[in-house]
Amino acid sequence: MAKIDREVIEELKKFTGGSEPDIYLYMVDLPPMMLHVLMAGGLFSALIQKPYFVGVSKNTIHFASTSIWKVGRFTGKHFMITKDEIESAKFRKVGPAEYHTLKLKDGRKLRLVANRIFKRLERQQENMDAFKSFLGK
């Protein structure tokens, strides 16, 4: 197991009560499309993206925020959602990227993208498939 994988698991264990997540992967929460367009189509929108290492344990998804400047530098910010809080989940694949739109019952919407060729995590590809299965896709 790569060093970054161990670091991610240890960080996520802080939020899961000490248990190792079943699934862990790197995802980015994208800004809404209109804001993306206004930010010169990606040139500046990278500054408002929210990168996370995501861990799934039982029926809970844990999000541990990481720096946009250096993957693996955790910011200490964390939130979680349960599977019951998800009203709907949409999935779209574009090349090696997979886009997940999670609409939550409280009205929030997460626009997450994960890349199959993200090489920092050894199990990124297989965990992306497991995440889709967790969401029922």
Specify whether the CB–CB gap between 48 and 30 falls below 8 A.
no
CA-based nearest residue to 112, from 50, 66, 57: 50
| Amino acid identity, position 115 | N
Specify whether the CB–CB gap between 117 and 96 falls below 8 A.
yes
Predicted local confidence at residue 38, as pLDDT: 56
pLDDT tens sequence across 30-79: 766 555 555 555 566 666 678 889 999 888 999 998 877 676 778 888 89
- Residues of 105-118 as b/e, b for ≥16 C-beta within 10 angstroms? eeeeebbbbbbeeb
**Single pTM value for the model:** 0.83
Domain 3-132 has CATH 3.90.800.10: no
Please report which confidence band the pLDDT of residue 109 belongs to, taking 50, 70 and 90 as the band edges: very high
Average pLDDT for residues 93-108, to the nearest whole number? 92
**Boundaries of every domain in the chain:** 3-132
Q: Tokens representing 70?
A: 């250096």
Sign (positive/negative) of CA torsion 120, 76, 33, 125?
positive
Predicted local confidence at residue 68, as pLDDT: 72
Specify whether the CB–CB gap between 46 and 68 falls below 8 A.
yes
